[in-house]
Structure 1
């Protein structure tokens, strides 16, 4: 073989190696992005929006709920329900781990239900009753820091307990 042919073969091998390297880098970048997205969605994936139907003799109602199955609290939780008769919302500043919040609506009137909330990293999310989960890139709800939010929740619970104690004292006196 002549030197010119071997140079062309060598150049072709170098181009093939470069294309292979670029391809491997691209695959690595895509894989890393998927792992980061999965990790980012980790806490949000554990939040569920559901419905349970309750019936009494007089009426049938749907109990819509947000369930935080995670190990971390979620913040700024809004349960938004749209029905043929209008919209309803229920809110909690903090929903602790392994707890839920709910709202009751007349059965058969609901057209959509979803929860909007923030995770412990401050990312905003929307979970639909259908199970779809979307990140809210421009989450507008003020984000509470976990210690501050837990302190505020404790203060509200203390206030409720004081009101209950006052009601019991008044009932005992009256």
Structure 2
């Protein structure tokens, strides 16, 4: 048993999270989701949320809450490519960090989301018109989280990037300014 009763957890295979209520058996955890319903999850499909990270997946996310800056914005870094009116970021963990060792899937996902949101805010500050976010194909969790973040935001539209160049593993975001 890895999680404690009352612990906040995030879902790895879908958007959202909840609070651990009990264990059905040694592999199945019962979690109360954001809507108040108890749901069963395999323990391996959950990740711990340490501290109050509830702001990570909301529109109120403040870049200043992140203590460690891991991405700088120079002209060519390998993970971020800048052109005149468009930027591209590769969110594969092997590109973003020196090692993934000792990190759970949830921790890796949180790191990717923080880097994406940092990149997004910086692009907005610089009035960049087009972003290409390379998230990979995988199981689609990162893609779903990115699109959930973008949904409902005014002044932008997003869609699958050019299949010939990126396959199914990237999202293009067009930003519109007044």
What range is the shorter-chain TM-score in? Answer: under 0.3
Tell me which structure has the larger Cα radius of gyration: 1
TM-score by length of 1: 0.24
TM-score by length of 2: 0.24
